[in-house]
């Protein structure tokens, strides 16, 4: 089985195996949630995490720009 590409038919307990490769310390519950979200979208965990981080960074940059414009 390719551990970087989760499949929708995986059981929740096995989804954690797909997120064990994350290089940051996270709880097992969070790993399972990330794996489940990736499986639901049919995408690799790493891609889901990259998109989430990029989205958050973009939002933070927009918030900073808005705050700077208000000042």
Q: Does the pLDDT value for residue 10 go beyond 60? A: no
Residue 6 lies in a domain: no
Give pLDDT, residue 16: 56
Looking at the predicted structure, is the pLDDT value of residue 58 above 90? Answer: yes
**Res. 35: pLDDT tops 70:** yes
Q: Which is higher by pLDDT, 1 or 71?
A: 71
What is the tally of structural domains in the chain? Answer: 1
Provide the residue range defining the domain that includes 29. 12-70
Average pLDDT, integer, range 39-63:
92
4 assigned to some structural domain: no
Site of tokens 């949630």: 33
Q: Is 19 exposed, middle or buried (0-12, 13-18, 19+ CB in 10 A)?
A: buried
């Amino acid at each position: 089985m390719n551990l970087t590409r989760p499949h929708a038919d995986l059981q929740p307990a096995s989804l954690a195996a797909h997120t064990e490769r994350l290089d940051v310390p996270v709880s097992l519950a969070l790993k399972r949630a990330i794996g489940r979200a990736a499986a639901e979208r049919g995408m690799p965990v790493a891609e889901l995490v990259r998109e989430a981080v990029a989205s958050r960074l973009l939002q933070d940059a927009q918030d900073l720009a808005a705050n700077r414009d208000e000042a």
